[in-house]
Homo-oligomer: A and B are copies of this chain.
Amino acid sequence: MSVINVGIIGASGYTGLELVKILIKHPKFNLSYVANSEGGVMLSDLHPSLSGVYECKVLKTDVDELAQECELVFLAVPHQTAMAYVKPLIAKGVKVVDLSADYRLTQDLYEEFYCPHTDVQNLSHAVYGLPEINREALKSAKLVANPGCFPTSAILGLLPFMEKRLKNTPIIIDAKTGVSGAGKKLSDVTHFVNVNDNLFAYNPLMHRHAPEIAQKLHVDFDEVNFVPYLVPVTRGMISSIYIQVSGDFDAFELLREFYKDEQHVRVCKNPVDMKSVSGTNFCDIYVKQKGSVLFISSAIDNLMRGASSQAVVNANIMMGVDESAGIPNIAYVP
C-alpha cells in the first residue's frame, strides 16, 4: 500500500502538536499539509520541542490546496470553526476527522449546549469516533466526530456495565482532568498560582460533555450527573464512576470479557493512575463492587485517547490501515 497524504488544520494547539508528533512517525500516513488560520510561521516556532526533529512551514488554511494534496484531514480547531471547514472539505471528497464538538451530538442537543448548527447535512452521516462502539461504521465513514475527552473515559468505563445497571438510578461521574484540557488559552483557571497545590470543581453538573455521554449511552441527560475537577497535572484524566447494579456477577470478569479483543483498553487489577496511560492511546479501567454499587475508575491521556491518538486510530480505520499503526503505546513514565 502506498503512503496516504494527510493534513492538519489547527496546528497551534496542544492537540495539533500531538497530531504532528504521531503523524511524523506514522508508517502509512504522510503529513503533507500543516495549517492554521494565519500561516506564515515555522512549526518549530509554535512548538520549539520540534526543532531539529520536524521542520515545516505552517500554511494559511486553503481548502482547495488541501483537497489537492490530502486524502484525509484532521481538524484541530474550536467548535463552530470546524463546521465551516467541514462543508467544503467533504464536498471536495476529503475525509475528515473533526476533533471539535461540532458533529458529536444531534442537532437539538448541539444547539442547546453550543450554538446554531450550520451544516446539518453532514451532521446526518457523521460517525462518532469511538472505535469500541462504532468500528464497522468507521470503515466507510467520510466524516468522523472525534469524541470529547471526558466522554471517552466515561463511556468506556460504563459500557460493559450498562446492562447490569438499575434503571432510573443516577449515573455519577466525578472526573479529574489535567490542565492541558483547558488548552493554551490564558485564563484564571490555567494560571499556575491558581492551580498549583490546589484543586477545585468547575461547571459542576452543567458541563457540555454530559449530554454527549448521555446520548452515546442512550440514557436520559437527567440520569447523567457529571462533575469535573481540575487537578494540578499537565495531562491525564480519570473518571470516577458510580452506578447501581442488580444481579449476581463478577464485575472484573465482565469487564475483562467485554474488552478482551480490544487492544487499546487495559483492564486493571489495581486502581488505575494517570501516568501509566500518559502519552498513549490506552484507556485503563478498574472496577470494584460493594453491594449494589459499582465503582469504576477509567484513565486516559486527555490529549491522546481523549483527542489526537484516538483521531489517528479513527483515521487508520477509515483508510483501511491497521488500527494501531503509528499509535504510541509507551507511557511517559516515570
Give me the interface of A with B, judged by CB distance under 8 Å: 14, 17, 21, 25, 47-49, 51-53, 169-170, 172, 174, 176, 178-180, 184, 186-188, 190-202, 204-205, 222, 225, 227, 229, 231-236, 238, 240, 242, 244, 263, 266, 268, 270-277, 279, 282, 286, 288, 290-293, 295, 297, 303, 329-334
Assuming A222-B291, A293-B225, is B199 touching A193 (CB within 8 A)?
no
Q: Report Cα–Cα, A292/B205, bound state, in Å.
A: 12
Q: Are A329 and B53 neighbours in the complex by a CB distance under 8 Å?
A: yes
Q: Report Cα–Cα, A274/B195, bound state, in Å.
A: 10
Q: Report Cα–Cα, A106/B270, bound state, in Å.
A: 31
Q: Are B198 and A292 neighbours in the complex by a CB distance under 8 Å?
A: no
Contacts of A234 in B (CB 8 A): 192-193, 196-197, 334
Residue of B nearest to A242 (CB): B172
Q: Are A187 and B184 neighbours in the complex by a CB distance under 8 Å?
A: no
Given contact pairs A178-B197, A202-B271, enumerate 18 new A-B contacts (beta carbons under 8 Å).
A47-B333, A49-B330, A52-B263, A169-B169, A170-B242, A191-B192, A192-B196, A193-B334, A196-B197, A197-B236, A198-B236, A199-B236, A200-B274, A201-B238, A222-B291, A227-B240, A229-B238, A231-B231
Residue of B nearest to A328 (CB): B330
Q: Report Cα–Cα, A88/B234, bound state, in Å.
A: 45
Residue of B nearest to A223 (CB): B291
Contacts of A53 in B (CB 8 A): 329-330
Assuming A195-B192, A330-B25, is B240 touching A201 (CB within 8 A)?
yes
Residue from A190, A204, A334 having most chain B Cβ neighbours under 10 A: A334
A sample of 16 inter-chain contacts (CB < 8 A) reads: A49-B275, A49-B276, A52-B282, A52-B329, A170-B293, A184-B193, A186-B186, A186-B187, A196-B233, A199-B236, A199-B274, A200-B274, A204-B297, A205-B293, A222-B291, A225-B293
Top 4 A-B pairs ranked by shortest CB distance?
Answer: A200-B273, A186-B186, A49-B331, A49-B276
Contacts of A332 in B (CB 8 A): 279, 332
**Shortest distance from the beta carbon of A279 to any chain B beta carbon, whole Å:** 7
**Shortest distance from the beta carbon of A173 to any chain B beta carbon, whole Å:** 10
**Shortest distance from the beta carbon of A239 to any chain B beta carbon, whole Å:** 10
Contacts of A240 in B (CB 8 A): 174, 201, 227, 229
Q: Report Cα–Cα, A227/B240, bound state, in Å.
A: 9
Contacts of A204 in B (CB 8 A): 271, 286, 288, 295, 297
Q: Are B295 and A196 neighbours in the complex by a CB distance under 8 Å?
A: no
Assuming A49-B331, A49-B333, A204-B297, is B238 touching A199 (CB within 8 A)?
yes
Q: Report Cα–Cα, A47/B291, bound state, in Å.
A: 32
Q: Are B233 and A197 neighbours in the complex by a CB distance under 8 Å?
A: yes
Q: Report Cα–Cα, A271/B190, bound state, in Å.
A: 16
Contacts of A231 in B (CB 8 A): 176, 199, 231-232
Contacts of A286 in B (CB 8 A): 201, 204
Q: Report Cα–Cα, A229/B242, bound state, in Å.
A: 15
Residue of B nearest to A333 (CB): B49
Q: Are A196 and B196 neighbours in the complex by a CB distance under 8 Å?
A: yes
Residue of B nearest to A20 (CB): B330
